[in-house]
Amino acid sequence: MEEEKKRALYEDINEIPFYFNGLGFTANMRNQLFIYDIEAKVIAPIVNPNFSVGIVKVSDDKKKVYFTGQDVTGVRKLTTNVYVYNLDTKTSEAIYEDDDLSVARIYLLKDQVILAGTDMKDFGINQNDDFFLLKNKKLELLNLYRGSIGNSVGSDVRLGGSPSDLTHDGKIYFVTTIDDHNELNSLDLLGNIRLEYQFNGSIDGITLVSNEFYAIGLYRQKLQEIYHLDLKVNKLEQRTRFNQAALKNKYVAVPKEFIYREHTHIVKGWVLYPKDFNPNQKYPAILDIHGGPKTVYGKVYYHEMQYWANQGYIVYFANPRGSDGKGDAFADIRGKYGTIDYSDLMNFADLIIRKVPQIDITKLFVTGGSYGGFMTNWIVGHTDRFKAAVTQRSISNWLSFHGTSDIGFYFSKDQTGGHPNLDTEKLWEQSPMKYAMQINTPLLFIHSDMDYRCPIEQAMQLFSILKEKGNDTKLIWFKGETHELSRSGKPQARLKRLTEISNWFEKYR
């Protein structure tokens, strides 16, 4: 206990990352793997003390444990090897040692090991995954999928998490993000991928019960419920009403779709009309920008937007280039932050103003979190069209982000296309801080001091410059909250956040 008290006073750091959002300090800490003998009450380690375990998969016969991981030697790598532990012989063996793949998932199917992962060579760290068969310590390409595996549809009403893939009847079933929604696909050992169910919403988890598929989902404008997916007849049946009462007698706006078309691509987005909408009346409007950037907005329930619609705002949101669901090329904005994505958002805003004449163009507002916070900072440094703005858990300076974010040492180089020392001007050009002296829009900062993804110093820098400059600005510093404040923060903190944002807009309404 005395030693623990001493350790509470400091951290010994000799590696990066040294902390991680939501986990705290992680330097010198390792994810370990053990076997516990229930009868003997003995715990035995499978890996050495310096080895950090990633993915773990146990075979159906409980004879083998497959896992990824690495010995940490100062800088954690994005690639990893694959290992197997034999419970009978109590020995481990490396079954893939080329260390050239970022492994996202391990699947065990009919005694075969299948990996989902990427070599990151074509589109960097955000490159979509392919499927590989692991045989004789070598990878055989099973399917050049290059699709989004998993769910990247955003919402702020989820709690906890559930599996997004499973194996059944000789196939792997996995959730994928397509455009603005999720689909359930299957993959067999011949590499054939088949669309099993198109879910026009968000699949937040899947499971099998008596050989029938069930999903936790956000469907239409409902909160999470359990749905039966009948793959044979392509039918959806809602099985629960757990959260129905929460929205009873509440106004819930139905998103109306709008599409901005360029000769090279389209940008899809939506508008929420306010409660008691009068087509002969003018309304203030809020542009809400998602994080990521490789995530998507969908047609699912988003509480903050529905709240603002209930407060008399027209709310609009879109998936510009950089978003997920449309392939690697659409999502690739490396070295282009603040250029093509900014153009897409402003062109979409222009489209909405043309198509929705009820918008009062003198009362336009903008907000966003994480990448959306970056874009908010960027927007107010490049246009005065918005009357007020709120930037949340944002990036303002790529140069300092590199050394302070838990992912900064690789994310900033990949996304900006440069090194902070070797390509300083390139990173500075893409940093909203460079354009701080051009900001005239009243700007509210929302940031948490335990946000290790976009550290609070990012807000401190820009806020201090604007305050010194004489701008109308304010910083709400949340204590003990992380990057996930708006999604899983403490209820009182989440209420404070939404109240402050709404009051800031009301002040200029």
CA dist list (Å): 150 to 129, 162, 173, 178, 237: 10, 11, 11, 10, 22
Strand 283-289 versus strand 359-369 pairing type: parallel
Which residue among the candidates 181, 290, 402, 483 is catalytic per the annotation?
483
Nearest CA among 77, 97, 94, 76 for reference residue 85: 94
Which residue among the candidates 152, 164, 323, 370 is catalytic per the annotation?
370
Identify whether 323 is a catalytic site residue: no
Identify whether 263 is a catalytic site residue: no
d(CA 475, CA 460): 8
Q: Which residues contact 348 (CB under 8 A, 6 or more apart)?
A: 258, 260, 267, 269, 316, 318, 320
Nearest CA among 76, 436, 503, 57 for reference residue 68: 57
Yes or no: say if 81 and 74 are a contact pair by the CB < 8 Å rule: no
d(CA 477, CA 150): 33
Tokens of 56: 């773990």
Instruction: Give the number of other CB atoms < 10 A from CB of residue 492.
Output: 8
Q: What is the DSSP string of 241-257?
A: -TTGGGGTT---PPPEE
Q: Three-state DSSP class for 457?
A: helix
* Strand ranges of the sheet holding 212-219, from the earlier edge strand across to the other edge: 201-209, 212-219, 225-230, 235-238
d(CA 446, CA 483): 11
Nearest CA among 194, 181, 102, 47 for reference residue 410: 102
d(CA 101, CA 96): 10
d(CA 223, CA 453): 27
d(CA 396, CA 20): 20
Instruction: Give the number of other CB atoms < 10 A from CB of residue 149.
Output: 22
Residues with a catalytic annotation lie at 370, 483
